[in-house]
Amino acid sequence: MSVKTVRCNNYRNARRSFFEFDPFLNIIVGKNGTGKTNILESIIVISNTKSYRTANDSDLIRKGEEFARIILNTEEKEYKIVINKKNKSLYIDNNLIKKTSDFIGRVNAILFKPSDLELFTQSPSERRKLLDIEISKVSRIYIQSLLKYNSLLKDKNKLLKQLEPDDLLLNVINESMSPMIKIIIQERSNFFAVINEYISPIYSLISGKEADISVVYKKCSEIENVNSELEKSRDKDYYYHYTTFGPHHDDYSFYMDGYELNSIASQGQKRMVLIAFKFALMKYIQFSTGSTPIVLLDDILSELDKENQERLLNIIPENTQVIITNTDINNLDIKKNYKLIELKEE
Ligand SMILES: Nc1ncnc2c1ncn2[C@@H]1O[C@H](COP(=O)(O)OP(=O)(O)O)[C@@H](O)[C@H]1O
Ligand SMILES: [Mg+2]
């Protein structure tokens, strides 16, 4: 899939902006602070219905303004998000879309950025966020189960806060939770199965070195034990006054040749593992949706040496739309044809 145009009003630093993209390779250059990342972010906002840079939608509104608007056109459709101080509205071809699950993932994009490296050291909740967003993009049943689970979890925690929680009510909540938990574990397991199929070979292609890379899913329970685990956790839940068991505690970690990545890999190797992980993610999305995501490379090429730069660009499948940002075109060694988009200070 590819983006044809992005038009914004009052979004971040731009009062009005309009960009037209080449279906294959695009390079955005400009000094720091000219809005390169903002452009990639606007595509992600359409893809994920929210930004990865802020939890607060109103940060996307240009300072001093009341609303922001992003309109993204593909060959087929027009996607629009209008963000006000208090809420946001989603539209496809000017029809209001009420459910996030009918909008998320329609425009598929994968962003590579230097701070991705934090994934290895972040809190489990940040790692789960990535999981939830990416799986939600390809699986409606996942996003629906997750939303339902989270709302049941809220109810359960509220109940557990009481001095004497109602046992029967807890049973009812557990019974409704159980199928949601099983779906979440199943979909997360499928996700990691695809990632593990691709991550090592991709790592070798980018780094030029063989290594056994794997991502281990640390799930709360095997699917067949979910009901008994729910039952078993009851006393602990009463004791701590919150829900101690469930996929809201899931996590995953990365291994290289059998060792925990953080304990053996150099910064450069970690970077390669991360890029390999993102490309494996791309395979997962491609595999589940039948369309190739748009590849967004924010400031990451200049961190790699020329050889790795070239390998990375070479493993991007032909016919993929790629948008690269950099402060200086001379830092890049790009042999293919591309469209250059130059940003100037306002
Ligand atoms: N809500 C906002 N209103 C006005 N300016 C903003 C807003 N959010 C971000 N900016 C500005 O956008 C500018 C460009 O940011 P960014 O896209 O990160 O630049 P680049 O990636 O080119 O270095 C920054 O100078 C920042 O201050
Ligand atoms: Mg930037």
Give the domain-ending residue among 290, 312, 335. 290
**Is pLDDT above 70 for 78?**
yes
Nearest atom, ligand 1, residue 30 CA? 22
According to DSSP, residue 104 is labeled T
Cα angle value 220/226/231 (rounded, 5°): 105
Q: How confident is the model at residue 335 (pLDDT cuts 50, 70, 90)?
A: confident
Cβ–ligand 1 distance for 13 under 6 Å, the answer yes
The β-bridge relationship of strands 339-342 and 88-92 is: unpaired
Q: Alpha-carbon dihedral of residues 330, 5, 277, 306, nearest 10 degrees? A: -10
Do 101 and 159 fall within a single domain? Answer: no
- DSSP assignment letter at 105: T
Q: What is the pLDDT of residue 247?
A: 98
Which residues constitute the domain of residue 207? 114-290
Is residue 75 a contact partner of residue 10, using CB atoms and an 8 Å limit? no
For the ranges 55-69, 75-89, 270-284, 292-306, the lowest mean pLDDT is seen at: 292-306
Do 136 and 263 lie in one domain? The reply is: yes
Whether 143 and 284 share a structural domain: yes
Cα 94 to ligand 2 centroid, rounded to whole Å: 31
**Could you tell me where the DSSP H helices lie in the chain?**
36-48, 124-138, 140-161, 167-207, 226-232, 234-240, 261-264, 267-289, 306-315
Q: Is 291 in the pocket of ligand 1 (CB under 6 A)?
A: no
Integer Cα distance of 108 and 53 in angstroms: 18
Assign 329 a pLDDT band (cuts: 50, 70, 90): confident
Instruction: Write down the pLDDT at residue 346.
Output: 67
Residues 199 and 316 in one domain: no
Instruction: Based on the fold, state whether residues 82 and 121 are members of the same structural domain.
Output: no
Last residue of a domain, one of 264, 290, 316: 290
Residue 76: exposure state from Cβ atoms within 10 A (0-12, 13-18, ≥19): exposed
pTM: 0.90
**Pair 99, 137 in one domain:** no
pLDDT at 331: 82
H helices, E strands: number in the chain: 9, 14
Report the nearest atom of ligand 1 relative to the CA of 343.
22
- If asked whether residues 104 and 123 sit together in one domain, one would say no
Q: What is the mean pLDDT of residues 164-186?
A: 96
Based on the fold, state whether residues 65 and 104 are members of the same structural domain: yes
Count of domains forming the chain: 2
- CATH number, position 328: 3.40.50.300
| pLDDT at position 105 | 87
Same domain, yes or no: 159 and 259 = yes
DSSP 202: H
**Ligand 1 pocket, 88 CB below 6 A?**
no
Q: Based on the domain organization, do 281 and 306 belong to the same domain?
A: no
pLDDT higher than 70, residue 67: yes
∠ CA 305-309-311 to the nearest 5 degrees?
Answer: 120
Contacts 24+ apart (CB under 8 A), 197-204: 197/280, 197/283, 198/276, 198/279, 198/280, 198/283, 198/284, 199/273, 199/276, 199/277, 199/280, 200/276, 202/276, 202/279, 202/280, 202/315, 203/272, 203/273, 203/276
Query: What is the rounded average pLDDT for all residues in the chain?
Result: 94
65 lines ligand 1 (CB under 6 A): no
Q: How many C-beta neighbours within 10 Å does residue 64 have?
A: 6
Q: Which among 10, 31, 38, 84 is the best mutation to test ligand 1's pocket, defined by most ligand atoms within 8 Å of the CB?
A: 38
Judgement on whether residues 138 and 263 belong to the same structural domain of the protein: yes
CATH number at residue 212: 1.20.1050.90
The two three-digit tokens of residue 326, written as one number: 């950099």
Quote the ligand 2 centre to 301 CA distance (angstroms): 13
* In a shared domain, residues 88 and 121: no
**Which of 19, 18, 88 lies closest to 58 in space, CA to CA?**
88
pLDDT score for 284? 95
Question: Distances in Å between the alpha carbon of 253 and those of 124, 188, 215, 276, 336?
Answer: 9, 13, 6, 14, 36
**How confident is residue 137, by pLDDT bands cut at 50, 70 and 90?**
confident
Residue 285: DSSP 8-state: H
CA 311 to mean position of chain CA atoms: 23
Nearest to 42 by CA among 73, 87, 63: 73
Both structure tokens of 84:
């006000």
Q: Single out the residue in 290, 312, 337 at which a domain terminates.
A: 290
